[in-house]
Structure 1
C-alpha cells in the first residue's frame, strides 16, 4: 500500500530555493519540482478529466506553463504546489470543454459520402499539415502553446490567455502574427 511521504506530497518541503533557481533559467530546478509535485499535479488533472493520456498531457502543460511564467510565479507560503494545482485544474477544465465541443461538433458534422476527400486530396492535406508543423516547431514555446490551445483545441482567446497567464490582447496579437507568418511561409509554392 502506498503511503505518501511529506516529500512526495510537497507538504513540508520549501520550494522557494528551487523556484528562485527556476527564475534564473535553471532547468534542473524544473526537474526537481516535477519530481516533487508531478504525481499530485497528475492526480488533480485526472480528477477533472478521467483520462490518463489527457491528465499526463495537462501535467506536462502545467509544468511548461510554470517554466514559461517562471519570472511571474508568486508563491503563497513555501510551496509551488498550490499554483501548479490551480494551473492544472484550469488547463484540465479547458481540455474538458474542448473535448466536449469536439464531440458535439463531430456528431453535428457527419459528412455525406459525396463530401469525403479523395486520396489525392488527403495526401495534399498531409503534406500541408507537415509544412505547418515545421513552421510551428520553429516558433517560441509560448506561441506553440497559443497555436495548440486556440487552433487545435479551439479555445477562445480569453480561455487560452487564462491557461497561459497572459492577457487576452497578447494572445490575439501573437496569434495574428503567427497566422501572417504561416501565410507568408506557406504561401503559393512552385
Structure 2
C-alpha cells in the first residue's frame, strides 16, 4: 500500500511542531530528487548544494505554514527549490551584469536541454496527450489545477485525478531509480 501522502502530511505536521528528527527524515527522503532537480537548473556543484540547503532551511522555517493540497511534500519542495534557483540566478546575473537565464526567467521549469531531468521529461512525454499537457502545465510550468482545467476544458476534479495518476507513475520511476 502506498501511503506516501499520509507520510508527507504527517511529516509536515511534525515539522510544524519543531521536531528536528523529522527534518532529517525529510532530507533523507527528498534530497536525492531535489539534488537531481537542482543540477538541472543550477550552474555548478556549489549552487546545487546551496539550493538544496536553502530549500530545506525554508521548509524548516515555514513548516507551520506549509499547505499540501495533494498531501505530498515533494511538489512544494521543488517549487521552493526553483524559486531559490531564480533568486540565485538573479543575484549572479546582477553581479555579472548578465540577463537571467531563460529557463529561470519565467515559470517554465527546467530547460529542454537539462540532462539532469531528461528522464522526467521522457516519462512525461510517454503519457497520453491530455495527461502530458496537464503535467506540463501543473508540474512543470506551475499552473494551478483550476488554471489547467480552464485551459484544457476539463473539470478540476479530472485534472486532480490525472495529476495524481501521473505523479504515481513518476514516483515509481524515481523510486526505482533511487533504490
Normalised by the length of structure 2, the TM-score is 0.50
Q: TM-score, normalization: structure 1? A: 0.47
Larger Rg: 1
